[in-house]
Amino acid sequence: MSIHIVALGNEGDAFHQDNRPSGLIRTYLGRSPLVSGDESSLLLNATSAVARPVFTEYQASAFGNVKLVVHDCPVWDIFDSDWYTSRNLIGGADIIVIKYNVNDKFSFHEVKDNYIPVIKRALNSVPVIIAAVGTRQNEELPCTCPLCTSDRGSCVSTTEGIQLAKELGATYLELHSLDDFYIGKYFGGVLEYFMIQALNQKTSEKMKKRKMSNSFHGIRPPQLEQPEKMPVLKAEASHYNADLNNLLFCCQCVDVVFYNPDLKEVAEAHKIVLCAVSHVFMLLFNVKSPADIQDSSIIRTTQDLFAINRDPAFPGASQESPGNPPLRVIVKDGLFCSCLSDILRFIYSGAFQWEELEEDIRKKLKDSGDVSNVIEKVKCILKTPGKFNCLRNCKTYQARKPLWFYNTSLKFFLNKPMLADVVFEIQGTTVPAHRAVLVARCEVMAAMFNGNYMEAKSVLIPVYGVSKETFLSFLEYLYTDSCCPAGIFQAMCLLICAEMYQVSRLQHICELFIITQLQSMPSRELASMNLDIVDLLKKAKFHHSDCLSTWLLHFIATNYLIFSQKPEFQDLSVEERSFVEKHRWPSNMYLKQLAEYRKYIHSRKCRCLVM
């Protein structure tokens, strides 16, 4: 026989993390005379417990031969990361211990706002202990008046703890320290009382089951085995950052060239990327007008740093491609120009690695004043109109936003003619796009635009076999690294388009979307839906979506009683049919045993004792 205890919340002191003692649960297990097990055997490494990675698991023996299993989860984010495991553990708990530190308001609110609603939904006559651990720091001003707020700024009052206990019908304890008295006699006494109550209840239930089994000697009902586990699809990691960063070094689809004040070429870049992160470049390349921006500092920065040169007598102008030559931009500031390659690399890598940028600039400019001056100009370039120096603290900004932020800024240019240099013709309509983004994000389009193909020299490119809505969703993924199909049919069309252009990560996203949608459908909806699951399976196989096709076969087998009644079930191949029959749930053996049991129950010689 065993007792399962679930402990939730963090009893550590947020102000004294370095000197805090062992946790409440571990201290009790190590000191209680009723619990046996040495210190080395109490803790089971959470990484080895594959089934329950969310909780730290302790095991010991109590009352001599009773197995005591404790699952401790101090952090809500970890608890919430595996909802299925967390819910099952709470549902199977015999005792729940909620703990927080009286000097840590955050731990109390985490318990109150996050754990308590979950426990209320799962609570079923399970005893709950609320343990308030620690001595309040401003104990010299004790006040129990409900209207007094003298210690509520940093400490959790007794009134708040008692009110929380009343909501759950829980036992409230205040443990001023984790010594022998508070742990062994106070907390341990209450916990062991509930442990004895749990043992008595389990013994009573076990005796009732034994009596029921002894009074019935007929055929036992068949046991329905669990269906086979569905295949797990692993999501592919995003390479959005690397794709756009590589665009700077591959020198493809360049449409702007920067020159120093001496008219020597410094660097090449792409208007679409620069405009995605900076209103200065939007103003410089006429994407927006001064009236649209309405920020004098951005207008002044644009005028002070850059100038566009359209002089046909410009050195090297005759060697440029006559069709659509890159725009020539003169960088007026010599110091800024000397660091331009580092600044562009910073922008293309996501415009958040400020410390690396400052280090690179410091290697080129020895004077700290010059370094600060260039950094301030970069901040002005990235400034948002109407906001006052939002990038003042580089380290704070880097920690707060460590992601590429023009995955949403590029969406501003999706299906818009601004800076567009290619137009797709689909179903009689046109969709403008930008070669630089397409080349960076899609290898098929990179080969198409840079090889000896008609599309490399053409502006208008026809697209066949794909609807406009599907192609726009495909472009949305290329521009933003995300997509949201309207349904299973749209996701399948997008998967086919992704396979056509060899964008594997988008294929995986569509596979996961289809699987999630099907898994969320109840049985009645599966039985009544018009979606042909077998046709979906055949499309997945035809377009080399092996993970999805394997999963769909398992899904059909798991829901055999539903799909076997549909006419499209007959369209399965011999190999597919054999797989489904082999892995079907429930199995033929179980159905035969169930029929025999029902026949026995309804015969005249037997009457069901329960019904």
Mean pLDDT of 59-67: 81
48 pLDDT higher than 50: no
Express as a percent the part of the chain with pLDDT over 90.
36
Say if residue 570's pLDDT is above 60: yes
pTM of the model: 0.61
CATH class of 2-43+52-138+155-208: alpha beta
Buried b (16+ CB within 10 A) or exposed e, 91-116: eebbbbbbbbbbbbbebbebbbebbb
The stretch 135-142 carries a mean pLDDT of 62
Average pLDDT over residues 72-95: 79
Residue 352, pLDDT score: 76
Q: Locate tokens 């008595």: which residue?
A: 200
pLDDT of residue 322: 47
Return the higher-pLDDT residue of 40 and 83.
83
Domain boundaries of the chain, sorted by first residue:
2-43+52-138+155-208, 251-312+325-382, 408-506, 521-610
Does 540 have pLDDT greater than 90? yes
Q: Is the pLDDT of residue 607 over 70?
A: no
Per-residue pLDDT at 82: 73
Give the strand pairing for 265-269 and 306-309: unpaired
At 338, the pLDDT band (50, 70, 90 cuts) reads very high
pLDDT in tens, 168-204: 888 998 888 888 788 878 888 888 888 888 888 888 8
The CATH topology of domain 251-312+325-382 is Potassium Channel Kv1.1; Chain A (3.30.710)
Tell me if 251-312+325-382 shares its fold with 408-506: yes
Q: Please tell me the class of the 408-506 domain.
A: alpha beta
Which pLDDT does position 457 carry in this prediction? 83
Mean pLDDT of the chain: 82
Would you say 548 and 230 are in contact if contact means Cβ atoms under 8 Å apart? Answer: no
Pick the residue with more confidence: 536 or 219? Answer: 536
Residue 394 clears pLDDT 80, i.e. is over it: no
Over residues 284-288, the mean pLDDT reads 92
Rounded mean pLDDT, 222-230? 85
Q: Please, are residues 100 and 11 in contact by the beta-carbon 8 Å criterion?
A: yes
On the question of pLDDT at 343 being above 90, the answer is: yes
Q: Residue 370 pLDDT > 60, yes or no?
A: yes
| E strands, 407-468, in order | 422-426, 429-433, 460-462
Separation between Cα atoms, residue 347 and residue 343, nearest integer Å = 6
The lowest-confidence range among 246-260, 281-295, 297-311, 383-397 is 383-397
Identify which of 64, 72, 66, 114 has the alpha carbon closest to the alpha carbon of residue 93. Answer: 72
Q: Which of 166-170, 387-391, 463-467, 554-558 has the lowest mean pLDDT?
A: 387-391
Burial-class residue 428 by CB neighbours within 10 Å (0-12, 13-18, 19+): exposed
Q: What is the pLDDT of residue 53?
A: 53
Which element (helix H / strand E) includes 308?
strand 306-309
Encoded tokens for 121: 């939904």
359 pLDDT more than 60 = yes
